[in-house]
């Protein structure tokens, strides 16, 4: 057993456990996006950052990939961690503003305003679908290709894969593909409620219970373009 401290609480967990698993077991919430039980941790979204160490040696690590160490001192919600998480969320939001999953995470961290220009890449390259396809569906039909800003996910040669069984696992697990903000069609909206008290794109009389987390509204921003 390995003894460590999370937010001042001394705990002991088995060797090989990650900080994230230990924190979850003891009830410390750490937001995650690219982490999924049953899939190997990947550390792509960086949302699960925690601070380890003390004083000038303190540093941020992704808790989903960091195995516990003897005597480790972990802070899951220090001001540095919160600041970093907010920044990460703002950047994620800029590349995938329509994703309800990211919008909800952003709202939960009090990010209501989009500071960065939206890029609408519609993929945050979290690799969930790639790992789902490989590890749970045993198919390996999709994967990363390209490098740097050209990195994307797809099948080899971007043609229909003969390995793909059309299981839909990749779409099911994707935080950006399915749960989309549906803009001005509130009947289809998944969230059913927003936090922006005066959503500019909805008719207030008809949909008075509808609000948007985001300000400015994603839909209105897209309309402007």
Least CB distance to other proteins at residue 137 (A): 12
Q: Which is nearer to other proteins, 2 or 164 (CB)?
A: 164
Quote the CA–CA distance of 160 and 38 in Å, as a whole number: 27
Our CB check for other proteins shows the closer of 79 and 157 to be 157
Report the nearest approach of other proteins to the CB of residue 76 (Å): 34
Asked if residues 155 and 161 have their Cβ atoms less than 8 Å apart, the reply is yes
Q: Where are the alpha helices (DSSP H) in 109-225?
A: 128-131, 169-173, 218-224
Q: Nearer to other proteins by C-beta: 84 or 139?
A: 139
Which 105-164 residues touch other proteins, going by CB under 8 A? 140-147, 155-157, 161, 163
b/e code 2-23 from CB counts within 10 Å (16+ = b): bebebeeeebebeeebbbbbbb
Minimum CB distance to other proteins, residue 48 (Å) = 25
Dihedral pair phi/psi, residue 29, rounded to 5°: -75, 130
Q: Measured at the alpha carbon of residue 117, what is the angle toward residues 43 and 110, in degrees to the nearest 5?
A: 60
**Interacting positions 6-25 with other proteins (CB under 8 A):** none
Nearest-approach distance from CB 64 to other proteins, in angstroms: 22
DSSP class of 151: -
Choice between 145 and 184, CB closer to other proteins = 145
Q: How far is the CB of 171 from other proteins (least distance, A)?
A: 17
* Contacts with other proteins, 175-204, as mask; x by CB under 8 A: ------------------------------
User: Each residue of 42-63: b (16+ CB within 10 Å) or e?
Assistant: bbbbbbbbbbbeeeeeeebbbb
In the complex, least distance from residue 154 CB atom to other proteins, rounded to whole angstroms: 9
Count of residues that interact with other proteins, criterion CB under 8 A: 13
Annotate each residue in 26-45 with x if it binds other proteins (CB under 8 A) or - if it does not, as one string: --------------------
**Beta-carbon neighbour count of residue 25 at 10 Å?**
12
- With 0-12 / 13-18 / 19 or more C-beta atoms within 10 angstroms meaning exposed / middle / buried, residue 208 is exposed
Instruction: List interacting residues with other proteins (CB under 8 A).
Output: 140-147, 155-157, 161, 163
């Amino acid at each position: 057993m390995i003894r460590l401290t999370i937010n001042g609480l001394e705990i002991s967990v088995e060797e090989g456990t990650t900080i994230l698993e230990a924190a979850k077991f003891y009830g410390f919430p750490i937001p995650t996006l690219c982490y999924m039980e049953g899939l190997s941790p990947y550390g792509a979204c960086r949302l699960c950052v925690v601070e380890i160490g003390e004083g000038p040696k303190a540093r941020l690590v992704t808790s989903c990939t960091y195995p516990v160490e003897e005597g480790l001192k972990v802070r899951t919600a220090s001001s540095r961690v919160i600041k970093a998480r907010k920044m990460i969320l703002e950047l994620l939001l800029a590349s995938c503003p329509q994703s309800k999953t990211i919008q909800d995470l952003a709202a939960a961290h009090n990010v209501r305003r989009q500071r960065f220009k939206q890029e609408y890449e519609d993929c945050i390259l979290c690799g969930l679908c790639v790992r789902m396809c490989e590890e749970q569906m045993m198919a390996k039909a999709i994967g990363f290709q390209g490098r740097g800003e050209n990195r994307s996910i797809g099948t080899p040669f971007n043609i229909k894969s003969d390995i793909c069984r059309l299981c839909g696992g990749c779409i099911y697990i994707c935080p950006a593909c399915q749960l989309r903000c549906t803009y001005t069609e509130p009947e289809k909206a998944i969230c059913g409620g927003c936090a922006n008290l005066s959503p500019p794109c909805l008719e207030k009389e008809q949909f008075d219970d509808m609000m948007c987390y985001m300000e400015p509204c994603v839909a209105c921003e897209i309309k402007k373009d």
